[in-house]
Amino acid sequence: MTWVRVPEGSGFGLENLPYGVFSRPGELRRIGVRIGDHVLDMAGLALDGTLPEASWAARSSLNRYFGEGPEHWAHIRQRIVEFLTDDDYRPLVEPRLVPVADISLHLPVDVADYVDFYASEQHATNLGNILRPNTPPLLPNWKHLPVGYHGRAGTIVASGVDVARPNGQRKIGDFGPSERLDFEAELGFLVGAPSDGPVAVGDFAKHVFGVVLVNDWSARDIQAFEYQPLGPFLGKSFATSISPWVVPLDALGAARIEGPAQDPEPQPYLRTAQPSGLDIQIEIELNGHVVSRPPYSGMYWSPAQMLAHMTVNGAPARSGDLYASGTVSGPEKDQRGSLIELSWNGDEPLELPDGTTRAFLEDGDTVTIRAFAPGANNTTISLGEVTTTITPARP
Amino acid sequence: MTWVRVPEGSGFGLENLPYGVFSRPGELRRIGVRIGDHVLDMAGLALDGTLPEASWAARSSLNRYFGEGPEHWAHIRQRIVEFLTDDDYRPLVEPRLVPVADISLHLPVDVADYVDFYASEQHATNLGNILRPNTPPLLPNWKHLPVGYHGRAGTIVASGVDVARPNGQRKIGDFGPSERLDFEAELGFLVGAPSDGPVAVGDFAKHVFGVVLVNDWSARDIQAFEYQPLGPFLGKSFATSISPWVVPLDALGAARIEGPAQDPEPQPYLRTAQPSGLDIQIEIELNGHVVSRPPYSGMYWSPAQMLAHMTVNGAPARSGDLYASGTVSGPEKDQRGSLIELSWNGDEPLELPDGTTRAFLEDGDTVTIRAFAPGANNTTISLGEVTTTITPARP
């Protein structure tokens, strides 16, 4: 039990303790850990001498902390639990609790490389059926490796930052604002401890620090015209939004499950004996109305497999690398993770409670992605949210 | 005339003055400018007070200098010319000249985002003919926009760093070292001054600082199996090598030429009244033997168009962004910029002077890319070289 008052159902109890980068008005950015409706000012604790080993906390990104590696992460987590449960620490620690209402949250990490996968069989199947009807929806490689590509790290933005509708070539001779702007609800994995080369599938937790929510904005018309043969480029690179709280893998132990069976059996470098799926429930809200609840539990390729694949060619992973799962879609219609799936490429527009319909996003629309997972001690932990409003295209 | 002795034909005369990051044994990395067989120690000049405004020079990358912008770049260039031509400066400057034989050269920049284009019509046509015979070699979008994709910034390495043959899935059920390892000779453009959004095609020189040579290593078998539908990933991401000397655009004025005519006329955001081609002659050496001389002058899409395209969707450009042209191939067989073209996918292996042949690269092979351009005052300027030896795959 923590001595901090944690509101019922907050999702930010002692079992969670996610990391973020925050600031108070007029002050520099620093690292904090969320508990209930407060953030524990880690830089303050370091300064006070309460936690002198948190020399990484007076920084504007988590990269330095990430680089310290899993033993240090576990040590710090244990210390924070002591601080928040032992009444003897209360006089030292309570002055370093800041109400979340008083802070601004920022991008938690300087993203090094950004990779986006395509790991949901249901999503890949839906897209195949929509974009390439009358052919097998999954391409021949899909069940043999987690398909992915590199995105633009420099356009990853924090929750709360507006995203302008992108301009681009929509088809031959047709330039203008995208008319098919879409969201994609994904889970993102942040590399903490770097690797010089291949990361074995069983070493996932030695390298990945934790997870964020990702909204991989997509301009379907721009993407459709440009993507052959080298993949998505400007249809994705205008913005990718992530949630501010990085939930440590250490908080997701109770969420680990067997993933779906994989057939054919993957290559040895992708095989693992451990459960490597995650029982995370995502929720997508459009203008305040929940339009989908994609379950992460059904994802075909696990995050450990994605990391093993990404590095099997010898590519190093750096502190701050972000890789995302690709759109999370479940088998039911109200479990689809993108609007192109929910509206079936516009053929079945979504009806919203205000009487309007959406084939794709309109200016002024606000998209919020949230997620929850089982935590230790029969709790529920929150992954926070990533929320974004669409603004009109530049003239 | 400079008072520094510049060897005949060095390509590093007063008209060039490229920037690099160097170190002497046991010393920290710092920024230098090459003249003849020497490097001018910019950090030393700043420390001495000879060039106090070079506060960016005691760093291990050019990023900070790049961020200063074109007026500062021009000012520093002018000061360096004064230092190297005015005998009055010689007593102050000569002690800061270090023989290139005494230094190590390093990656000149912390690469932010890396984009690779596909801007040679001849290369795209050759690849189309090889990989998709009996269909039109250029896809429908190719003449409407510079096709490109994001690569892995974290695996960009300096000239001289060995590259290990990557492992990967070569086809279904077939994992192992790539059997079709290839080079791609390209020109790379480094963004200096950042932009918050679209860069007009005429503003190229306000943002791009200069050029490097790029070898975009490619594992053709891994790439062929993985690339549908999201583009190249592990077939490219194991390594990309760049040359150590960044030649400023200010040195390439005499190399500016009209590019090829563009038909159809591109969209307005890609149109420019200025000559935007570059008369740069590339040379590719395999194990000491020149195998190709691709001319950059024939590239369909100009670097100014690539930057305008890359940012037209609103994506910011950061100091240290690198974008490469894609393989440079001319119309003649001995002007092709990759081995897959030179050997026509292995059907016509290259014959080397030692009696061996190459369809693709073998372990131990050394590939060197050099380039030259016309400089001011009827000189020739060198872009230096990027040279790399292939080592065996990890076990």
pLDDT tens string A67-115: 999 999 999 999 999 999 999 999 999 999 999 999 999 999 999 999 9
Q: CA of B17: how far to CAs of A183, B14, B174, in Å?
A: 47, 6, 49
Amino acid at A212: V
* A229–B231 C-beta distance less than 8 A: yes
Q: CA of B217: how far to CAs of A303, B63, B225, in Å?
A: 27, 24, 16
pLDDT class for A275, splitting at 50, 70, 90?
A: confident
* A231–B227 C-beta distance less than 8 A: yes
Amino acid at B329: S
Helix%, strand%, coil% for chain B, nearest 5 = 25, 30, 45
- Measure in Å the smallest separation between the Cα of A300 and chain B Cα atoms: 17
* A227–B166 C-beta distance less than 8 A: no
B-contacting residues in A 165-204 (Cβ below 8 Å): 166-169, 172-173, 175, 197-198
Q: Give me the mean pLDDT over the A180-189 stretch.
A: 98
> Which chain B residues touch A326 with a CB distance below 8 Å?
none
Rounded Cα distance between B97 and A102, Å, is: 55
SS3 B210: strand
Q: Which of A114, A174, A233, A325 to mutate to test the interface with B (most CBs of B within 10 A)?
A: A233
Please name the member of A113, A229, A238 whose beta carbon is closest to the beta carbon of B153: A113
Amino acid at B392: P
Rounded Cα distance between B220 and A202, Å, is: 29
Chain B interface includes A317 (CB < 8 A): yes
Torsion of CA A185, A191, A192, A198, to 10 degrees: 160
Q: What are phi and psi of A60, to 5 degrees?
A: -95, 10
Percent of chain B surpassing pLDDT 90: 97
Please name the member of B175, B234, B309 whose beta carbon is closest to the beta carbon of A267: B175
* A197–B267 C-beta distance less than 8 A: no
Rounded Cα distance between A65 and A248, Å, is: 12
> Which chain B residues touch A144 with a CB distance below 8 Å?
169, 172-173, 225
Which chain B residue has the Cα nearest residue A194? B154
Average pLDDT, chain A: 97
Structural tokens at position B375: 């400089």
Buried b (16+ CB within 10 A) or exposed e, A175-186: bebbebbbbbbb
Structural tokens at position B342: 């030179």
> Which chain B residues touch A148 with a CB distance below 8 Å?
230, 233
Chain B interface includes A307 (CB < 8 A): no
pLDDT class for B252, splitting at 50, 70, 90?
A: very high
Check if B289 is active-site: no
Residue identified by tokens 């090094």 is A112
Q: Give me the mean pLDDT over the B369-394 stretch.
A: 97
> Which pLDDT score, from 0 to 100, does residue A212 have?
98
Contact B30, B59 (CB under 8 A): yes
Which chain A residue has the Cα nearest residue B151? A150
Structural tokens at position A177: 């604002």
Chain A interface includes B125 (CB < 8 A): no
What pLDDT, in 10s, does the model give residues A290-346? 999 999 999 999 999 999 999 999 999 999 999 999 999 999 999 999 999 999 999
Active-site residue, selected from the candidate residues A38, A123, A207, A309: A123
Measured distance between the N- and C-terminal CA atoms of chain B, rounded to whole angstroms: 55
H/E element holding B306? helix B303-311
Rounded Cα distance between A385 and B1, Å, is: 63
Q: Which of B150, B222, B237 to mutate to test the interface with A (most CBs of A within 10 A)?
A: B150
Q: CA of B257: how far to CAs of B60, B274, B324, B390, in Å?
A: 34, 9, 19, 36
Q: Which of A135, A150, A156, A165 to mutate to test the interface with B (most CBs of B within 10 A)?
A: A150
Chain B interface includes A150 (CB < 8 A): yes
Active-site residue, selected from the candidate residues B38, B75, B106, B123: B123
pLDDT class for A51, splitting at 50, 70, 90?
A: very high
What pLDDT, in 10s, does the model give residues B17-37? 999 999 999 999 999 999 999
> Which chain A residues touch B226 with a CB distance below 8 Å?
141, 145, 147
pLDDT class for B386, splitting at 50, 70, 90?
A: very high
> Which pLDDT score, from 0 to 100, does residue A273 have?
80
* A167–B313 C-beta distance less than 8 A: yes
Residue identified by tokens 């994995």 is A189
What is the DSSP code (8-state) at residue B22? E
What pLDDT, in 10s, does the model give residues B77-133? 999 999 999 999 999 999 999 999 999 999 999 999 999 999 999 999 999 999 899
* Cβ count within 10 A of residue A76: 22
Rounded Cα distance between A323 and A105, Å, is: 21
Residue A276 has pLDDT above 90, yes or no: no
Structural tokens at position A359: 């084939």
* B314–A152 C-beta distance less than 8 A: no
Chain A interface includes B67 (CB < 8 A): no
What pLDDT, in 10s, does the model give residues B288-347? 999 999 999 999 999 999 999 999 999 999 999 999 999 999 999 999 999 999 999 999
> Which pLDDT score, from 0 to 100, does residue B273 have?
80
Chain B interface includes A49 (CB < 8 A): no
Residue B274 has pLDDT above 90, yes or no: no
> Which pLDDT score, from 0 to 100, does residue B109 have?
98
Percent of chain A surpassing pLDDT 70: 100
**DSSP per position, B164-196:** EPPEEEEETTEEEE-SSEE-BEEEEEEE-S-BS
Q: CA of B33: how far to CAs of A147, B57, B63, B101, in Å?
A: 43, 10, 15, 14
Please name the member of B198, B238, B321 whose beta carbon is closest to the beta carbon of A315: B238
> Which pLDDT score, from 0 to 100, does residue B239 have?
98
pLDDT class for B275, splitting at 50, 70, 90?
A: confident
> Which pLDDT score, from 0 to 100, does residue B242 have?
98
SS3 B10: coil
> Which chain B residues touch A238 with a CB distance below 8 Å?
313-315
> Which chain A residues touch B147 with a CB distance below 8 Å?
226, 229-230, 233
Torsion of CA A142, A145, A151, A153, to 10 degrees: 150
* A314–B239 C-beta distance less than 8 A: yes
Residue B276 has pLDDT above 90, yes or no: no
Rounded Cα distance between A101 and A103, Å, is: 6
How far is it between the farthest Cα atoms of chain B? 70
Considering only CA atoms, give the Rg of chain A. 21
Among the residue ranges A66-75, A164-173, B54-63, B128-137, the one predicted with the least confidence is: B128-137
* A231–B231 C-beta distance less than 8 A: yes
What is the DSSP code (8-state) at residue B303? H
Contact B280, B300 (CB under 8 A): no
Q: Omega of the bond prior to B229 within 30 degrees of 0, cis?
A: yes
Complex ipTM, two decimals?
0.97
**Closest to A2 in 3D by CA, of A386, A331, A379:** A379
* Cβ count within 10 A of residue A69: 16
> Which chain A residues touch B316 with a CB distance below 8 Å?
154-155
Chain B interface includes A225 (CB < 8 A): yes
Amino acid at B130: I
Structural tokens at position A259: 């993933």
B-contacting residues in A 260-279 (Cβ below 8 Å): 264, 267-269
> Which pLDDT score, from 0 to 100, does residue A98 have?
98
Please name the member of B118, B164, B313 whose beta carbon is closest to the beta carbon of A230: B118
* B227–A232 C-beta distance less than 8 A: no
* A147–B394 C-beta distance less than 8 A: no
Structural tokens at position A223: 């993407």
Q: Give me the mean pLDDT over the A133-161 stretch.
A: 97
* B231–A164 C-beta distance less than 8 A: no
Residue B267 has pLDDT above 90, yes or no: yes
Q: How many CB pairs under 8 A join A and B?
A: 172
Please name the member of A148, A152, A232 whose beta carbon is closest to the beta carbon of B315: A152
Residue A361 has pLDDT above 90, yes or no: yes
Chain A interface includes B129 (CB < 8 A): no
> Which chain A residues touch B234 with a CB distance below 8 Å?
309-310, 312-313, 315
User: Count of residues for chain B?
Assistant: 395
Rounded Cα distance between A358 and B168, Å, is: 42
Rounded Cα distance between B310 and A270, Å, is: 35
pLDDT class for B272, splitting at 50, 70, 90?
A: confident
Measured distance between the N- and C-terminal CA atoms of chain A, rounded to whole angstroms: 55
Say if residue B395 is exposed, middle or buried (CB neighbours under 10 Å; 0-12, 13-18, 19+): exposed
> Which chain B residues touch A394 with a CB distance below 8 Å?
197-198, 314
Q: Give me the mean pLDDT over the B142-161 stretch.
A: 98
Structural tokens at position B58: 């005691």
Cα angle: B271, vertex B276, B280; to 5 degrees = 150
